[in-house]
Amino acid sequence: MKRVSVVLVLFVSLAAVVVAGDVVERDLYIQGRDLAKRSFTAPNLSFDLYSRGTIDVGPLIEGVNLTKGESAESIYAKVDMQRQRLYPDEEIILSITIPEPVMISAVAGASLVRSIYWWNNVNPKNTSFFAQYYSTAGTCFISDIKYGNYKIYANNGNGKWVYKRRMGAGYSWGGCSYGTYALRGFEGVATIDSVSDIVMYFFK
């Protein structure tokens, strides 16, 4: 379980960076905590894992083989299975980018270009998270607010964050944004200490 497969060593590029404080990137913003980012790349897709630096991500990706035609769905399923077994209460983000889109039959005329799975999203009072990506459609699912309260906002591609609703523990929420190709996204602002699970998809 502790070894990293030879295939991954030979074919996957891995970089680990410990970021202090806020994580501010082109399409992902995490406020108020230190997370380590590990990046894995292959010709057909790439993915990033964010977690505390003390977490060994080797076992999380043990079943992932990017040379064998992995999809966003298969990577998610394998990482989540190991996450539930090893680190069920840890904040972990899996962000997958598909540079050469693969058609998704459930969304006519659209293809998945980015998926973000955010487990145990931790937001102290008055901190926020957001994710955004250039796309023609985006969806956000907050599947479980374990405790706390969030104000939810969406950017529909016009550069403005629009308030959607406020929701607390025990509730779920889903929203979408679509239109012309633009930078779209979703944001949550914690009004008290809050924890939730979040999934986002962006299509082109």
- Tens of pLDDT, residue by residue over 123-167, are 889 888 889 999 999 999 987 788 999 999 999 988 889 999 998
Q: Report the C-alpha gap between 135 and 178 in whole angstroms.
A: 8
pLDDT of residue 135: 92
What confidence category does residue 36 fall into, taking pLDDT thresholds of 50, 70 and 90?
A: confident
- The per-residue pLDDT for 32 is 64
d(CA 64, CA 105): 23
pLDDT at residue 8 above 60?
Answer: no
Taking a C-beta distance cutoff of 8 angstroms, is the pair 110, 87 a contact? no
Is residue 184's pLDDT more than 60? Answer: yes
Nearest of 74, 70, 46, 40 to residue 58 by alpha carbon:
40
Q: Residue 99 burial (CB < 10 Å; 0-12/13-18/19+)?
A: exposed
Torsion on CA atoms 47, 52, 55, 58, rounded to nearest 10 = 10
Task: Decide: pTM greater than 0.85.
Answer: no
User: What's the rounded Cα separation, in Å, for the pair 200 and 79?
Assistant: 16
Assign domain 6-203 one CATH number from 3.40.50.300, 3.40.50.720, 3.30.420.40, 2.60.120.380: 2.60.120.380
Cα 151 to chain centroid distance, Å, stands at: 19
